[in-house]
Amino acid sequence: MQFAFTEEQDLIREAAQTFFREHGASQRVRAAMETPLGYDEGSWATMVREMGWAGIALPESVGGTGLGNVELAILQEEAGRCVQPSPFFSTVCLAAPAIRHAGTPAQQESLLGPIATGEARAALALTGAGGAPGLEGIGVTLERSGRKSRLVGEASYVVHGHAADLLVVAARSPGSRGAEGVSLIALPAGTKGVRIEKLVALDLTRPMARIRLENVEVTTTQILGEPEAAAAALTQALRLAQIALAAEQTGGAQGALETTTAYAKQRVQFGRAIGSFQAIKHRLADMMIAAEAAKSAAYYAACIADTAIGELAEAAAIAKSRCSDAFFDCAANMVQLHGGIGFTWEHDAQLYFKRARASSTLLGTPQYHRELLAQLMGLGAAS
């Protein structure tokens, strides 16, 4: 039992902090977010090619670094601290675990290899127009007849879908429900019949796309693992993604706290720094309490994911609900404690506030995760 980061993990964090000080600087984030692509290609290339971060949690057999979810959480936390936009989350935290848990060894090698080296950006097409989280929200149907299969339908909230080379599509067999009939399909974004439309998203630092599939033909080799048997793998991958997202939210909460604390020391009203008013001090203290609790939840969950002790489902639900709430509280306080400037487009408070709201919804709201937790706790069904 050593619930502290190792020296090696501290070094990873330091490297990440150095990287994001430059690549996550406010002007750079804002410039990138206004481009059609929504992120800085140079920064992305450095992250995945020079730093080798895309493969951090992937096994060495597919070209990864062979580290784990704790290391991934560190990177996510530092990225979240400056709300840096990039397809890292969609590629490394969402699509890659789906491939890893559902794919055959051969599929893993051919699909994860290019992700690990940074050649491929990927996205997970999961949630249909209805927006329900998890397997219930799948909006694409896989119609199978003999060796040929076709994808029909739409996924509407595909994070960085417009920038993906590879789509991992979650689909259901017609009329299936729950854990039954769920398949995962690897689909190059350029496949005939795939229409990708970048949407205007509340959070400009994490664009989303709508992906329409109009009778897209897929071969058996594109189906990850066995057809109609991917529910467990997808669920597992989503839990890992929730933990990685929770770590990012933790960083967001910390970033909001740091910026707001600095402002409270410098802004003077009534002849004194606003940070000397107890009403402000106590709010900042509450932000720190929330941010530290969020860190504990995220580190705990990442640790569970790596050591396979304890319940991953539970840890993911705890982390995603708590970190979502903590980030939103901190971002909301960031706006409030900045006063008028906090409401402007020009100030970064809006970026944190919107990221907080959007990431709270993404992969299930806090309420959704608490209800999951209630079921895991054995409370039975709700009335």
Partner 1 sequence: MRLDFSPQEETFRREAATWLEGQLSGPFADLRTGRAHDISAPERRKEWERALGRARWSAIGWPEEYGGRNATLAEQVIFAEEYARARAPGRLGHLGIELCGPTILALGTEAQKRRFLPKMSAGEEYWCQGYSEPNAGSDLSNVRTRARLEKGPNGPEWVIEGQKTWTSLAQFADWCFLVTRTEEGSTGARGLSYLLVPMHQKGVTIRPIRQMTGEAEFNETFFDGARTAAENVVGAPGEGWKVAMATLSFERGASTLAQQMGFRNQLDAIIGAAKDNGAARDPLIRQRLAEAYAGLKIMRASSLRMLTSAQSGKLSPEAFTYKIFWATWHRKLGELAMDVLGPAGELGTAAPYELQELTKMFLFSRADTIYAGTNQVQRNIIAERALGLPKEPRGGA
- Does the footprint of partner 1 cover residue 279 (CB under 8 A)? no
In whole angstroms, the minimum distance from the beta carbon of 225 to partner 1 comes to 30
Nearest to 124 by CA among 264, 256, 3, 238: 238
Side-chain-side CA neighbours of residue 142 (13 Å): 32
In whole angstroms, the minimum distance from the beta carbon of 301 to partner 1 comes to 9
Question: Dihedral of CA 293/204/53/369: which sign?
Answer: positive
Helix (H, G, I), strand (E, B) or coil at 324: helix
Among residue numbers 48 through 107, which ones bind partner 1 (CB under 8 A)?
Answer: 70
Query: Which of the ranges 76-84, 158-166, 217-225, 294-302 carries the binding residues for partner 1, by CB under 8 A?
Result: 294-302
Rounded to 5 degrees, what are φ and ψ at 58? -95, 150
Site string for partner 1, 128-147 (x = CB under 8 A): --------------------
- Does the footprint of partner 1 cover residue 295 (CB under 8 A)? yes
- Does the footprint of partner 1 cover residue 7 (CB under 8 A)? no
Type of residue at 6? T
- Does the footprint of partner 1 cover residue 381 (CB under 8 A)? yes
What string of DSSP letters covers 191-245? -TTEEEEEPP-SSTTS-EEEEEEEEEEE-GGGB-SSTTB-HHHHHHHHHHHHHHH
In whole angstroms, the minimum distance from the beta carbon of 290 to partner 1 comes to 9
Gap between the Cα atoms of 200 and 62, Å rounded: 35
Size of the site for partner 1 (CB under 8 A): 57
- Does the footprint of partner 1 cover residue 1 (CB under 8 A)? yes
In whole angstroms, the minimum distance from the beta carbon of 40 to partner 1 comes to 31
Nearest to 329 by CA among 279, 264, 285: 285
- Does the footprint of partner 1 cover residue 272 (CB under 8 A)? yes
- Does the footprint of partner 1 cover residue 215 (CB under 8 A)? no
Among residue numbers 301 through 320, which ones bind partner 1 (CB under 8 A)?
Answer: 302-304, 306-307, 309-310, 314-315, 317-318
Question: Dihedral of CA 3/4/6/11: which sign?
Answer: positive
Q: Which residues, in sequence order, are CB contacts of 231 under 8 Å at separation 6+?
A: 135, 178, 179, 180, 182
- Does the footprint of partner 1 cover residue 273 (CB under 8 A)? yes
Site string for partner 1, 340-369 (x = CB under 8 A): ---------------------------x--
In whole angstroms, the minimum distance from the beta carbon of 304 to partner 1 comes to 7
Gap between the Cα atoms of 124 and 368, Å rounded: 20
CA distances from 166 to 77, 158, 284 (A): 25, 12, 42
Q: Tell how strand 166-172 and strand 122-125 pair up.
A: parallel
- Does the footprint of partner 1 cover residue 161 (CB under 8 A)? no
Cβ nearer to partner 1, comparing 42 with 310: 310
- Does the footprint of partner 1 cover residue 33 (CB under 8 A)? no
Contacting positions for partner 1 (CB under 8 A): 1-6, 9, 70, 257, 261, 264-265, 272-273, 275-276, 278, 280-282, 284-286, 288-289, 292-293, 295-297, 299-300, 302-304, 306-307, 309-310, 314-315, 317-318, 321-322, 367, 370-371, 373-374, 377-383
